[in-house]
Structure 1
Amino acid sequence: MRFRQVHLDFHTSEAIGDIGQRFSKKQFQDMLKLGHVDSITVFSKCHHGWAYHPSEANEIHPQLSFDLLGAQIEAAHEIGVKTPVYLSAGLDEKLARRHPEWLIRDKQERTNWAADFMQPGYHQFCMNTPYLEILADQVREVAEKYDVDGIFLDIVGVRECYCQFCVAEIRKRGSDPRNTADMQQLWEETYLKYGAAMDAAVHASKPDLPLFHNNGHIRRGRRDLADLNTHLELESLPTGGWGYDHFPLSARYAQGLGMNVLGMTGKFHQSWGEFGGFKHPNALRYEAALSLANGAGCSIGDQLHPLGEMDPATYALIGEAYAEVEAKEEWCREVVSVADIALLSAEAAATAFGAQAPDPAIVAAADTGAVRILLEGHYLFDIVDLDSDWLMYKIMILPDCIGITPELLRKLDAFTAKGGKVFATGQSGLLPDESRFALRLGAEWVGKSPFNPTYARPQFELSSLRPASFLIGANAYEIELAENAQALGSRQHPYFNRDLFTFSSHRHAPSDLQDAGTGITEGADGIYAAWNLFADYAEYGSLPVKQMVRHLLDRLLESAAGERTLSVDLPAQGIVTLQRQSAADRNVLHLLYASPVRRGKDTEVIEDLPLVKSTDIRLAEQRTVRKVYLAPQRLPLPFSQENGQIRCTVPEWSCHQMVVFEFSSICDV
């Protein structure tokens, strides 16, 4: 896998003339060298539907007079740069106006992305139409005729559709389009049929060619969808709507799937299709380092000008980040993560309690809030699904909305039998019928609290706050203390819920300061907290909530393992990961620090990368460490190792610093 990729968008209207007229092999190559680029995704077909090469399966862009794709491939290969090729699969505006009956429709016959044809925008195709065969021919042509290094297909996934092809198909099966379950099955089958058609189109002629289907998000728990790809590219432009939270959430799951992974960001100030927009070089440096720290290669999005000339300012910008990546690759290849904690993704395992389907907002917030707390607490963690191997972890987090099915209970019983501990919040830990807890978490279920907000009163002191009644805005639940269990905190109610004739002050009533029952419990299998704490943190970012969770996790780590594997004195925005590089018999600790700030209406940016003071590290390690050094500087670092603890101090650093712990003589500094 190449680590320094550019994704070169080229969505170019037929209303623009002289397409590619300023393309120059030398200029193209010079920019790739300036950017330290070793792979560039170039275009066969864009969202407008045009081909950028002579084509029998499609139509060449009417303003293009030569084979731009072929010229780009030749120029890149001449200097050792790989060329995956992009085809827009879900969008083809040229064809959409010729065959609007092939487009995805909702129940009201509206199209998407654009709702109609009287506004600028693209329209998405249903793969349960004759369009699928046309797309397969286009993909097959590129795979067979060009020396491509991969195929990237965009805007695809399991799609809800009520076009007349889908309606006819469901009626042919003896069902009805109003039967949502049967329609969902059809949509799943449609995507699998698409995946099989693309696999045949690509791999019949080139069996080993990389193939990726982009949906903008890797769905946790859907390994069947991930397996349609040969590798994963995690589209996650922080300023383009994903935010700086999304990539760690996605990457900590993706690395565990055992596939090569690229982290995809962009050079843009905001997002795709932005000409003349640039993020600060420090932002790209940090985002590239974040990919490396999570076991991934890097991909940076750019968009080629219609005239075909590469932008020097863009490749100077990319080059600042990729020069650093190039120097660091040696310590970032073929790694696996080292983690104490597994977060069972709510997206992968959320449960329908009784007749109530999981609330999508709670599901999304559960994962987001948990990842934020784990990152800010500098824990070593992975995100897992029901098919992951859990036995290597010390703690399993069940965030907010995960009921215990028979399959899940079997895995958790094996996990706790090995000494692992569970931390559950909200409805997690319950049987799906909400009759009782399936795990020994010290709690007996009563039901959902009628109050919102409520208050928590922990029986331990928080690291930054004195004892108090702490506000919880997310759902609360009523429990009783189980036999032979320990209470770690209690609940308190407000005087009343805010209503027409019962409201007080500006927001909500204060606590009545009366004990309303147990709120946090500990049993043989772990700890339970009777609030959707992770959804609360995602929504409100409450300091007491974070510090309560951190205290409880540290308590469980001490119970399960005696200590955390890693302790560092970083600011909250610092990020740590630990990667094992078995081939070189070494562990690589990644330290990162940046602090995004809000600019404009809703854009988070990174501009300043302040120096981080010397950072003390304590790493639990029983193996004898031969040397510790900073990479890529190869600077030896003084350390001590006693009683299974390595201690060292990293001198002042900025943005990203790797610390290498080497256990054998395979590699010398």
Structure 2
Amino acid sequence: MRFRQVHLDFHTSELISGIGKRFDQEQFQSMLKLGHVDSITIFSKCHHGWAYHPSVHNEMHPGLEFDLLEAMIEAAHEIGVKTPVYISAGLDEKLALRHPEWLIRDFNDHTNWVDGFMKPGYHQFCLNSPYLDLLLRQVDEVVRGYDADGIFLDIVGVRPCYCHTCINAIRKQGGDPRDKEAMLAMWERTYANYCARVRETIDAVKPGLPVFHNGGHIRRGRRDLARMNSHLELESLPTGGWGYDHFPLSARYAQGLGMEFLGMTGKFHTTWGEFGGYKHPNALRYETSLSIANGAKCSIGDQLHPEGLMDEATYRLIGAAYREIEQKEAWCEEVASIADIGLLTLEALQAHSEEKKGDRAAGSDAGAIRMLLEGKWLFDVIDLESDFQRYKVIILPDLVTIDEDLQAKFNRFIAAGGRVLATGRSGLNAEGNAFALDFGAEWVEASACRPDYFRPHFELQNLGTASFVFYSEGQSIKLTDGTELGHREQSYFNREAFAFCSHQHTPSALRHDGPGMVESGSGIYIAWNVFEDYAAKGSLALKEVVTYALNRLLPDKTLATGLPAQGIVTLMHQERENRYVNHLLYASPVKRGSGVEVIEDMIPLYDVPVSLRLPSEAKKVYLAPQMTELPFDTSDGCIHYTVPRLECHQMVVIDV
């Protein structure tokens, strides 16, 4: 896979004429060079349903008079730029109006993406309908007729559908369409059949041609779905609805799948389809640097004007980022992450249930990722198939209950010296009525008091000791043979119509109402959903309690740094080159408008200290790509160096 890709959207209404009339090979090439682009995904078929080339199995856009796809492929290949080809698989609005019976329907017979034909927008097709055969003919036509470097199929996944085709199919199989589990199993089969038939169609012409099926998110815990692709493209536009939490969470899971992957952001101020919207160059510099710091290649979304003229402002913007990436690629090929901690996310445990967009980077998973990033911990995002023995600590955020198989896996992990940090209902058995792991405490019940208070038996780094309000659900526990690290204090009463105090909640009654945080040989348990609470409220006390716990569990952590909270740090091992690469990033997103986070100013940091505990002795430490050697010293089993200046992104290379 190439490092510097562009995903060139071209969803163009039939009401617009003169399609591609200003396309010019030299101008196209000059923009790719200006943007330092080495691969560009171009369109065969858009969401409106039109082809951008002569077609037997589709119809060429009525406003197009030449083979635009072929012209783009020839222009790009002439300058060494690859051209994966895009086909809209889930959406085809031209066809939706002709065959509405092939569309996905919800339980109440509504269509999606829009729930009717009197609203602007697209309608998604059911891949269990006759539409699939037509789509496969369109794929075959492109693979046979064009020198595509891959196929990108969009708007697909395991989709709930109650169209007449799906209902008839489940009934013929002896199932009941009112049985959600039976329907989910059929939706899974529908998607697997689609992926298999696409692969067969492509391999019949060009065996092994790369293919990616895009659904906007790679589901944690669904390795089977991930492996239906030749590689992964992590669509994650921070300003387009994904936010800045999503990519690190998704990338640190993808790292463990053994597949090449890229991070896809966009040049837009908001999201796809925004003509005339531009990010600040510093935002793209940061987002592409974040990709390579997490072991990914890069992709930036753009949208071509209907007349086919590449936008110079866009490619100046992209070039500002990709010029830097081009200089850094040598230190980012074939890398593996170094991690002390494995984060077992909730999505990974719920992955075989119906996908919900809100699970992508929300709630407990989002709170955990924020704390770990802000705390500069080295971590991977893992699932039930991951090798637990790679980690010193595994975090169970808030709602991870333990069945017998998972309990056996944790018993082996703990017996080998691993430790667990569990919070809230995590660590309870599948029935939710007792601890499955031994935290030196007995579970009693969910706390009747909400919110209540935690009084640590240690000083928080910035806040000292106090009764700290925890807003999330808590669990009442009794100490057995564990060590109490802090206790619960309930309020006088819960707030309700005839019992309330002050503006928000009732204060602590200042009583010891049982343990709130305990430690045993297995690890540490905190009796609230602290990660969910942090995602919602962001209280400093929550983070400092977790930081204290992790410092106890990881006295010999691999990396320590003075990078501020908004900084991000990763450590990659480049085995082939016998070196480690320490990535440091710093930017501070701010809210702009209604809920849009933007990056604009890049504030340089100076003299950032880093300490690394590595299994091999360091021979040389230097900045990349500058090739400037850094002085370092070794003490207490660690190497220590100082990064003299960090502006957006800096790599430090440790030759061993």
In structure 2, what is the Cα distance between the partners aligned to 1:218 and 1:447? 36
Question: Kindly tell me: are residues 533 and 582 of structure 1, through their superposed partners in 2, closer, same or farther at Cα, counting changes over 3 Å?
Answer: same
Alignment correspondent of 2:124: 124
In structure 2, what is the Cα distance between the partners aligned to 1:439 and 1:358? 29
Alignment correspondent of 1:602: 595
Answer yes or no: is 1:533 the counterpart of 2:538: no
Answer yes or no: is 1:152 the counterpart of 2:145: no
Answer yes or no: is 1:615 the counterpart of 2:608: yes
Answer yes or no: is 1:499 the counterpart of 2:496: yes
In structure 2, what is the Cα distance between the partners aligned to 1:553 and 1:341? 9
* 1:373-416 Cα deviation digits (max 9, x unpaired): 00000000000001111211110001111111122112212211
Question: Kindly tell me: are residues 258 and 195 of structure 1, through their superposed partners in 2, closer, same or farther at Cα, counting changes over 3 Å?
Answer: same
Alignment correspondent of 1:460: 458
In structure 1, what is the Cα distance between the partners aligned to 2:636 and 2:600? 42
Equivalent residues in 2 for 1:43-62 (5 A)? 43-62=43-62
Alignment correspondent of 1:473: 471
Answer yes or no: is 1:415 the counterpart of 2:420: no
Question: Kindly tell me: are residues 305 and 360 of structure 1, through their superposed partners in 2, closer, same or farther at Cα, counting changes over 3 Å?
Answer: closer
* 1:466-506 Cα deviation digits (max 9, x unpaired): 210001111111101122x1011111111111111011111
Question: Kindly tell me: are residues 493 and 43 of structure 1, through their superposed partners in 2, closer, same or farther at Cα, counting changes over 3 Å?
Answer: same
Alignment correspondent of 1:396: 394
- The TM-score with structure 1 as length reference comes to 0.96
Residue 370 of structure 1 aligns to a residue in which SS?
helix
In structure 1, what is the Cα distance between the partners aligned to 2:173 and 2:419? 48
What is the letter of the counterpart of residue 391 of structure 2? Y
Question: Kindly tell me: are residues 125 and 217 of structure 1, through their superposed partners in 2, closer, same or farther at Cα, counting changes over 3 Å?
Answer: same
* 1:207-241 Cα deviation digits (max 9, x unpaired): 12111010111100011110100100000000001
In structure 1, what is the Cα distance between the partners aligned to 2:622 and 2:440? 45
Contact in 1 for aligned 2:344/2:397 (Cα 8 Å): yes
Residue 343 of structure 1 aligns to a residue in which SS?
strand
What is the letter of the counterpart of residue 528 of structure 2? W
| Residue 350 (structure 1) shift | 5.0
Equivalent residues in 2 for 1:38-187 (5 A)? 38-187=38-187
What is the letter of the counterpart of residue 228 of structure 1? M
Question: Kindly tell me: are residues 627 and 651 of structure 1, through their superposed partners in 2, closer, same or farther at Cα, counting changes over 3 Å?
Answer: same
| Residue 641 (structure 1) shift | 1.9
Residue 394 of structure 2 aligns to a residue in which SS?
strand
Residue 317 of structure 2 aligns to a residue in which SS?
helix
What is the letter of the counterpart of residue 302 of structure 2? D
* 1:130-170 Cα deviation digits (max 9, x unpaired): 00001111011111111111100000001111101111111
Alignment correspondent of 1:667: none
| Residue 88 (structure 1) shift | 0.5
Alignment correspondent of 1:279: 279
Equivalent residues in 2 for 1:255-654 (5 A)? 255-350=255-350, 364-483=362-481, 485-558=482-555, 563-654=556-647
In structure 1, what is the Cα distance between the partners aligned to 2:574 and 2:168? 53
Contact in 1 for aligned 2:217/2:360 (Cα 8 Å): no
Residue 149 of structure 1 aligns to a residue in which SS?
coil
Residue 416 of structure 1 aligns to a residue in which SS?
helix
What is the letter of the counterpart of residue 86 of structure 2? Y
Alignment correspondent of 2:29: 29
Percent sequence identity is 61
| Residue 434 (structure 1) shift | 2.0
Question: Kindly tell me: are residues 242 and 359 of structure 1, through their superposed partners in 2, closer, same or farther at Cα, counting changes over 3 Å?
Answer: closer
RMSD (Å), alpha carbons: 1.5
What is the letter of the counterpart of residue 442 of structure 2? E
What is the letter of the counterpart of residue 93 of structure 2? E
- The TM-score with structure 2 as length reference comes to 0.98
Question: Kindly tell me: are residues 593 and 362 of structure 1, through their superposed partners in 2, closer, same or farther at Cα, counting changes over 3 Å?
Answer: closer
In structure 1, what is the Cα distance between the partners aligned to 2:224 and 2:360? 24
Q: List 4+ stretches of structure 1 deviating above 6 A.
A: 357-363
In structure 1, what is the Cα distance between the partners aligned to 2:34 and 2:114? 38
Residue 391 of structure 1 aligns to a residue in which SS?
helix
Alignment correspondent of 2:188: 188
In structure 1, what is the Cα distance between the partners aligned to 2:644 and 2:573? 23
In structure 2, what is the Cα distance between the partners aligned to 1:211 and 1:455? 52
Aligned length: 654
Contact in 1 for aligned 2:472/2:529 (Cα 8 Å): yes
Residue 651 of structure 1 aligns to a residue in which SS?
strand
Question: Kindly tell me: are residues 459 and 358 of structure 1, through their superposed partners in 2, closer, same or farther at Cα, counting changes over 3 Å?
Answer: farther
What is the letter of the counterpart of residue 211 of structure 1? V
Question: Kindly tell me: are residues 600 and 327 of structure 1, through their superposed partners in 2, closer, same or farther at Cα, counting changes over 3 Å?
Answer: same
What is the letter of the counterpart of residue 184 of structure 1? L
Contact in 1 for aligned 2:399/2:426 (Cα 8 Å): yes
